[in-house]
Amino acid sequence: MAYNPPKQAGIGQVIDSVIILVLLFICLLVPFLWKKQAAATAAEAPAAAAVQEAEPTWEALNQTAVQAGRLSPCLRRTTTAAAALPASPCQPFPVES
């Protein structure tokens, strides 16, 4: 015996098609609206970022003295990266400055 699915009325098919189309348009519009929202937010962000551009201090970053002591050699402003690297016994060749 073969399976015979129930018949759907024409109005039911129309309603189902309209629901599917509405869901499809919603799915297509959501990324567009998110991108538009992100662009508006990005336009406001530089003003807020300009306020925070000041040179951060260890106190402003809530760093302890131990953390500041361990990170300060890494943050020295040097002209070459080799000058900032400490001499290491594991280094296979000498670093030229």
Tens digit of each residue's pLDDT (9 = 90 or more) over 33-76: 888 888 777 777 665 555 555 666 777 777 788 877 777 666 66
At residue 29, the pLDDT reads 93
Label residue 68 exposed, middle or buried (CB < 10 Å: 0-12, 13-18, 19+): middle
At residue 91, the pLDDT reads 53
Band (16; pLDDT cuts 50, 70, 90)? very high
Mean pLDDT over each residue of the chain, to the nearest integer:
75
Q: Is the pTM of this model over 0.85?
A: no
